[in-house]
Amino acid sequence: MKKRFKKQSWAALAIAVAMLSAAGCSAKSNTPSDSAASEAPQASGASGESAPQDVTISLGRVVGSDNKFKNGETIEDNVHTRWAKEKFGIDFKVDWSVGTGEAYTTKLRLLLNSNGKLPDVFTLSDPTLENQVVDSGKVMDITEAFDQYASPRLKELYAQYPEIWNTVSYDGKHYGLPTFNANSSFSVLWIRQDWLDKLGLQAPKTIEDMDKVMDAFVNQDPDGNGKKDTIGLSLSLKKGVSAVKDTFMVSSDFLFGHTAVPTYWTEGADGKLQYGSVQPSVKQGLVKLSEWMKKGYLDKDAGAMDEAKAAESFVQGKSGMVFGPTWMATYPFNADMKFDYKAVPIPAGIDGQMGFGSEPQSSVRFYFNKDFKHMDALFKYLDAIMGPGFYDPSSEFANGWAEGYDYVMVDGQPVYDSDKIPGGFVDVKKYTIYGNDIQTPKKELEVMAKLGRGEAPETPYEKYFAARPKKWAEAAAVLETYLDKAAVYDQFTGPPTPTMAEKGELLRKMENETFLKIIYGQESPDSFDSFVSKWNSSGGEQMTKEVNEWYESVKK
């Protein structure tokens, strides 16, 4: 499958590796949600089996300020590790711990470069370092171990999303276990319903509708203050026209539709991966953004605003629309927003199709030391924390991770109020070897959408989410209706290619500068064609070739 870059490639990559910012090891959702237990389907697994002989599994850990303890516990001795010992005979030993994800990645890089001993099990989210780890020969090919030890429910889950293996596949072998993102939060169009009602308008369904609605929002005094001081659409263009992948807020993704999302690699009609930012439909989208900027539909400072700053105009009641995830109902939106706003489906883009850049299916991967001997016990443990979810009433985690820590039973019902938990709330999922929930695609969305449709919560899991803002749930119900047809995934999930590492930053800078100049009318839209030509001759053509060599290898 994925073709491992040869040793000589690392000479070209060495400088880039040193410059890359280290990624965190804990799985962080792109939402500010804080689920109290794991999310994955319940089925037959290891829960009924007797504990094996005691085994020791070494770890490297991030123990940051968000790791709280009580009852004299530590990261190595706590309610969760004791449960693992009792259930599976596993002693988790922490070889070393650091305070941040960046320090964690740096530690692993130093161990690798100094030929030090890697932990038995560790996570990574930096494709460049992952490629280097595999190339070192220090981690295990888990292909046979997964076939032999993974439970039926885990095999079923991974069989539903076979492409997720691309992130860890080298030369036809699987050198790691990818974890899943929820893929539940993106993306809706938040709109001022009171402005629509006042002006006799409907929510836009096409780009032409967007023109009409924004013109009214800007020129017909929707806030009734007698001033022309409103904005049609809040946008952040500081980091480019596509979604900022650490927040996915306040972008113009929807404008480009499904054919080509800027910065994403997607499969073209010829079956090869193409870079979205150089496709003809993007030129059309830039022309439209330029029109919107000229007509005053956008904030004139959008090119200098980050996503949080750009969202302020909507939060403060000065903007009529903003594109972003369902969780915006919690942040940056707040209770002080007294006006009537709601989530509606995104309009069809410039190509006539609904589309937006989605988060990757996997952000974090498990890797295993090649000398590790206890994959059978480890897979039983992983099955337990990835399998029985908080949403399954028959699971031992049906109410949360540990009674008296992240919930307490009151009158036969789980309660999550920290004031009612002896010693306060403790986030037990941070004690797991993953350090967070291992999520299942769409499960959270399914529950939130159910609540958004007005259905009563029944299980503890649903009651937990029922405490979230109503508008979040309503937005999830809207998103569920079109997510599958609109979400566009970046299909290049490998490590940076040699040309990408050497010239990628320069090419992206060229892209952002050209696009902003077109949007602000400083250059003709035809400068897009010149940009594409220069992009190809400056390394883009070679980078595309390398990306497709990788793509061909993972399709074999």
Q: Is residue 335 part of a domain?
A: yes
Q: Is residue 537 part of a domain?
A: yes
Torsion of CA 539, 306, 251, 277, to 10 degrees: -10
Say how many domains are in the chain.
2
pLDDT at 184: 67
Q: Is residue 33 part of a domain?
A: yes
pLDDT at 178: 94
Which one of 415, 431, 447 terminates a domain?
431
pLDDT at 436: 83
pLDDT at 50: 54
Which phi and psi angles does 92 have, rounded to 5°?
-85, 120
Q: Is residue 481 part of a domain?
A: no
Neighbouring CB atoms inside 10 A of 278's CB total: 21
Residues 255, 288 within the same domain: yes
Q: What is the CATH number of the domain that holds 288?
A: 3.40.190.10
Q: At what angle do helices 470-480 and 443-452 cross, to 10 degrees?
A: 110
Residues 251, 338 within the same domain: yes
pLDDT at 464: 77
Residues 205, 97 within the same domain: no
Cα–Cα distance measured from residue 107 to residue 113, given in angstroms and rounded to the nearest whole number: 10
* Domain hosting residue 245, numbered range: 188-357+497-555
Residues 368, 386 within the same domain: yes
List helix spans (H) across 295-373.
307-315
Q: Is residue 385 part of a domain?
A: yes
Give every CB contact of residue 432 below 8 A, 6+ residues apart in sequence.
80, 385
Residues 340, 244 within the same domain: yes
Each of the 556 residues of the chain gets a pLDDT tens digit; together they read: 444 443 333 333 333 333 333 333 333 333 333 333 333 333 333 444 555 579 999 999 999 998 999 999 999 999 999 999 999 999 999 999 999 999 999 999 999 999 999 999 999 998 889 999 999 999 999 999 999 999 998 999 899 989 899 999 888 899 999 998 876 678 899 999 999 999 999 999 999 999 999 999 999 999 999 999 999 999 999 888 876 665 667 788 889 999 999 999 999 999 999 999 999 999 999 999 999 999 999 999 999 988 889 999 999 999 999 998 999 999 899 999 999 999 999 999 999 999 998 888 888 999 999 999 999 999 999 988 885 455 567 778 888 899 999 999 999 888 888 899 999 999 999 999 998 877 788 888 999 999 999 999 988 878 878 888 999 999 999 999 999 999 998 999 888 899 999 999 999 999 999 999 999 999 999 999 999 999 999 999 999 999 999 999 887 6
pLDDT at 466: 86
Q: Is 267 helix (H, G, I), strand (E, B) or coil?
A: strand
Cα–Cα distance measured from residue 475 to residue 124, given in angstroms and rounded to the nearest whole number: 32
HSE, CB side, 13 Å, CA atoms: give it for residue 429. Answer: 22
Which one of 431, 446, 474 terminates a domain?
431
CA 396, 365, 253: angle at the middle one, nearest 5? Answer: 100
Which one of 431, 447, 480 terminates a domain?
431
Residues 208, 342 within the same domain: yes
Give every CB contact of residue 258 below 8 A, 6+ residues apart in sequence.
349, 351, 353, 354, 355, 486, 488
Residues 17, 161 within the same domain: yes
Across 39-172, the runs of DSSP E, i.e. the strands, are 55-62, 90-98, 121-124, 169-170
Q: Is residue 114 part of a domain?
A: yes
As to burial, measured by CB atoms within 10 angstroms (0-12 exposed, 13-18 middle, 19+ buried), residue 179 is buried
Residues 260, 314 within the same domain: yes
Distances (CA, A) of 536 to 379, 515, 532: 46, 16, 6
**Cβ atoms of residues 189 and 319 within 8 Å:** no
Q: Is residue 163 part of a domain?
A: yes
pLDDT at 14: 33
Neighbouring CB atoms inside 10 A of 205's CB total: 14
Residues 316, 372 within the same domain: no
Residues 176, 219 within the same domain: no
Cα–Cα distance measured from residue 275 to residue 466, given in angstroms and rounded to the nearest whole number: 40
For 275, which DSSP code? E
Q: Is residue 58 part of a domain?
A: yes
Residues 326, 236 within the same domain: yes
Cα–Cα distance measured from residue 118 to residue 122, given in angstroms and rounded to the nearest whole number: 8
